[in-house]
Amino acid sequence: MYRLNDSEAEAAETQTWLEFAVKCGYLDAKVARSLYEAYDRILGKLVVMICQPQKWVIGSEG
């Protein structure tokens, strides 16, 4: 579970860097928005995996 939490933190950090890149003019806002939304979907999947780990463990019942 710790690796999932680490992955969640890394994805959220990436979203922060996307915002920073747009504010500094390094990245087009439209491109950043698309990437940010993709990371939102990734974060959603990670949260489901964290909250329901039994569904994701190989050989588990459930």
- What ranges make up the beta strands (E) of the chain? none
Q: pLDDT (tens digit, 9 = 90+) per residue, 1-15?
A: 578 899 999 999 999
Q: pLDDT (tens digit, 9 = 90+) per residue, 7-58?
A: 999 999 999 999 999 999 999 999 999 999 999 999 999 999 889 988 878 8
Question: Can you tell me the distance from the alpha carbon of 18 to that of 1, in angstroms, rounded to the nearest whole number?
Answer: 26
